[in-house]
Amino acid sequence: MTALVSMKCVLMLVSLASSSPLEESPALTVVKLERTSVILPQTAERAGKHKNFYSAKLSVGTPRQDFNVFFDLEGGTMVLPSQGCTDPACLERQRYNKWSSETAEDIQADGRLVEPKARKTLLRRRDRGTLDLDSIDVGPGKVAGNFVRDEVCVAGKRCFPLAFLAADKMSDMPFLTEPYDGAVGLGLRGMSVSLEFNFLAAFVNGHYAGAMTRNSFGLHIGNEEDGGEITLGGYDVNRLTHPLKWASVVDPQEGRWQIMVSSIRIGNTTLDACRHQKCRAALDYSSSLLGVPTSLVEGVQNSLASLAAPHGFGDGCQMLAMPEISLQLTNDFTITLPPEDYLSDFGTRKSLISKPSCEPLVSHHHAEENLGRDVFILGESVMRRYYTFFDANALQVGFSLAGSQSKPQPLVAGGEEGQKKEASTTETQTIFLVQVSVIKTKMMTPLDF
């Protein structure tokens, strides 16, 4: 009988004291991100635009099967294409083969074996799930498949059992455009079916059961030479330009890393938007730009156009002609975005009877059904400017303008308590945290391909 399942995720945080540098700590795992740049096809939402995709190495099964996966801030379950999938999007990827893995188990959504006392089965009557996805840059898509549990290894050394979705159906979009095999979510509790499906919880329980109490991770988005990294267990102090500024996660039951926005300022002008309504900002580096909800995009664009300098350069606008956008958070911390962080295109200079003016465009999204109204999306261009630290126990996100790093440095624990410890930390003392990851999550419904 097919089961209705809601895919969600759970995070726990961990703290630990150590005097070892970054790569020497047994409590820390650094996952290196590789960046691949493509020009989006004409079928994509942002057709013809450049887009960066980030992936990392991960292996599954015994013996190990290697995959490139995307670590998604808005997900709650790992998804891999299965060997039995013959859709074009699956055939373009490395596919997971449960039959070749000695540690694979066919399971129901609640973690029970599909067939008692049998690790694997050919039975078709079992729980199935579908996962609806919506890429702001590429477009919507869907995967469907069965549930499997197997051993997952990160960074070639951290191995633990994890339940995930082995997809036997994959839509062409957005998957034919994405240059990786599968995805792993880093969302909060509301994103996972259960703890067994939660990557971070499984990672922690597989190594540190009873030894740690907190979950956290740091995220660095790099440049062309440095794709970036995810630090499972803490954050790298040397990547910060100032102590972390904290924003509380709002509506954490939804499972997303989202924070409250109390006001929007363009240049020195505060807009009416968000003064009388609950605005939020979701962190999602899979989106390229600052995303503005449809309900607010017209007002923001009109304000940008009216406040921009009256003359551009040639037939378009120059960066210096554009005002900054500032998002005021509820804790008096402000995220400031220069023009290169919010422009999807430069507007043209129109020579009418009046003076020519620049007409900047912001990236707008239509994800209200999934995100809710009045939700901004802090995309890749924003998150590259800020190093971010995600504290799942305290339900906070820490921000610091990103700095460069020339050599490995110790990590520091997150949260307000960890921040105080950071101020007194010396080169011989470090405080660590352990992170969790999960994947993009939508409601799982019966298979309807």
14-220 folds as Cathepsin D, subunit A; domain 1 (2.40.70)
Q: What is the pLDDT of residues 28-87, one digit of tens each?
A: 788 999 999 999 999 888 888 889 999 999 999 999 999 999 999 989 899 999 999 999
Q: Do domains 14-220 and 241-402 have the same CATH topology?
A: yes
How is the chain split into domains, by residue range?
A: 14-220, 241-402
Counting beta carbons within 10 angstroms of the beta carbon of residue 356, is it exposed (0 to 12), middle (13 to 18) or buried (19 or more)?
middle
Residue ranges, the chain, pLDDT below 50: 1-24, 210-213, 312-316, 346-359, 406-410, 413-417, 420-449
Residue 344, pLDDT score: 57
This prediction has a pTM of: 0.79
Which long-range contacts (C-beta less than 8 Å, at least 24 apart) are formed by 312-318?
Answer: 312/346, 312/347, 312/349, 312/356, 312/358, 314/349, 315/348, 315/349, 316/346, 316/347, 316/348, 316/349, 316/358, 317/346, 317/347, 317/349, 317/358, 317/359, 317/360
241-402 folds as Cathepsin D, subunit A; domain 1 (2.40.70)
Residue 341, pLDDT score: 77
Q: What is the pLDDT of residues 233-264, one digit of tens each?
A: 788 888 899 999 999 999 888 888 999 998 88
